Structure 1
């Protein structure tokens, strides 16, 4: 599975794509390199998210739906929420996290897992919480 490098300021992480989310992974890789803003979650606990608004990921012309989805990501897991009750987004758990919005609990596709740099996730979460939105870059390693 492809490796993704994630850079937020001076912090760098490596992540593996998840084989149980092939449509999400394929569509996301098609966006790379991808630069966006990472902000702190409001309802989900210890996590950061990338708001994607109305963006619809597509794989071979078909909108990415739910696959390998969960509401309870582990530390270092990235979920992709394809939209519906809330806007499309990517969420990263850096601590205890239960994926939610003002509409209630959500589930997202677990498509990436941090494999290197996990020990820096708490630093990342604190930086985003106390210093505000941070630039994040996703690219093939």
Structure 2
């Protein structure tokens, strides 16, 4: 049986459709863990401390990964997964300048996904979350 490798994800965030490329070489364990959780459904809200980003607070959800390809300064369109530790598990998507942090201080997350289609709408998505509140988000394989 042939194993299908997922390289891109369809992301429906609020009313927007985006496409993201998994960072398979730089974060293989994080990508594999996230793909195993597909379809992944959550809500995004505007960040509190980090700047121009939206995030999915995930409580004690354990993806079973540690740090790989981690950063505290994701660029617009980069998605990072914080695997938990001093703060709760979370996924953050930067739409502008971000210094990833929580109420306990600076965090670093695994950059595992980069938006490749729809990046020009990320600022609009971020502002929608800021002014209108939580938006649904769904990730699924793009085949």
- For the criterion TM > 0.5, the same-fold answer is yes
The CA distance in 1 between the partners of 2:35 and 2:124, in whole Å, is: 26
Distance 1:87 1:111 in 2: 18
Please identify runs of 4+ aligned residues in structure 1 that moved more than 6 A: none
Show structure 2 runs of 5+ residues with no match.
1-5
Distance 2:97 2:12 in 1: 22
How much has 1:9 moved relative to structure 2? 2.5
1:62-141 to 2 correspondences below 5 Å: 63-141=64-142
2:93 aligned counterpart, secondary structure: strand
**Secondary structure, counterpart of 1:7 in structure 2:** strand
Shift of 1:8: 1.4
Secondary structure of 2:49's counterpart equals coil
| Partner Cα distance (2:17, 2:98) in 1 | 21
Aligned-partner SS, 1:53: coil
1:51 aligns with 2:40: no
Equivalent position SS for 1:129? helix
With normalisation by structure 2, the TM-score equals 0.93
User: Where does structure 1 lack aligned partners over 5 or more consecutive residues?
Assistant: 58-62
2:11 alignment partner in structure 1: 6
- 1:3-60 CA distances to partner (integer Å, 9 max, x unpaired)? 0111012211100001210000000001111110101100000000001100000xxx
The aligned length equals: 136
Higher strand share: 1
